Amino acid sequence: MTRFRTLLLDADSTLAGIEGIDWLAERRGPSVAAAVRALTAAAMDGTIPLEEAYARRLVQIAPTRDDLRALADAYVAAVAPDAAEALRLLRTAGVALRVISGGIREALLPLTRSLGFSDADLYAVSLQFDPDGRYAGIHTSPLTATGGKLAVVAALRPARPALAVGDGVTDLEMRPAVDAFAAFTGFARRPAIVASADREVTSFSALASWIVNAEDAGP
């Protein structure tokens, strides 16, 4: 018997060691990267709504389909080193796995497919492009707004008990809709997130061991 029936995973800085929008901004050069960082900081400080920051960052970057293909390769190259085996172990144990990300769906799909997820298991933000492959906007998604991950999990109604895992404040927002939250610190450790988590995990192998070995101490 496993500790949880469902595992809900973040992608950026959890499944892979990069932040996709920051990676795209760096590709545009230092001035765009600085502008995107400023918008991110403003959203985190509450100066502007997250949904406004999300849209404005993508307008600044204006990613093309080719950019997303390059980002997809970067995600696959940056995958957490023990993720594939740990996720196989969890599936074999009967745990349902989902990815809930504020990242860009088109860039994340190659990563999630390589880790055994079906396309329906990935909840992320889809972009629009014109016929020449240039950025044309964002498909409406709750994941571009504050509380978006909580809304997605609440609508998903995962089999309980459920565990959410991530590295940031938008991941912690899922906590009211699940039974526990684990702060993943394999790539980035944010003390405020760790302090609010039910558990800290530094690797996917440690995460899988905790979930499968339900007799261990802890929530």
pLDDT digits (tens, 9 = 90+) for 42-81: 776 668 888 888 999 999 999 999 999 999 999 999 999 9
Number of structural domains (the chain) is: 1
| CATH number where 13 lies | 3.40.50.1000
Distances in Å between the alpha carbon of 199 and those of 99, 121, 160, 207, 211?
Answer: 19, 24, 18, 10, 11
Within a domain: 87: yes
pLDDT digits (tens, 9 = 90+) for 90-148: 999 999 999 999 999 999 999 999 999 999 999 999 999 999 999 999 999 999 998 99
What domain range is 196 assigned to?
A: 6-17+79-212
Contact 51, 145 (CB under 8 A): yes
Within a domain: 1: no
Q: Scan for tokens 């070995």, then name that residue.
A: 213
Within a domain: 149: yes
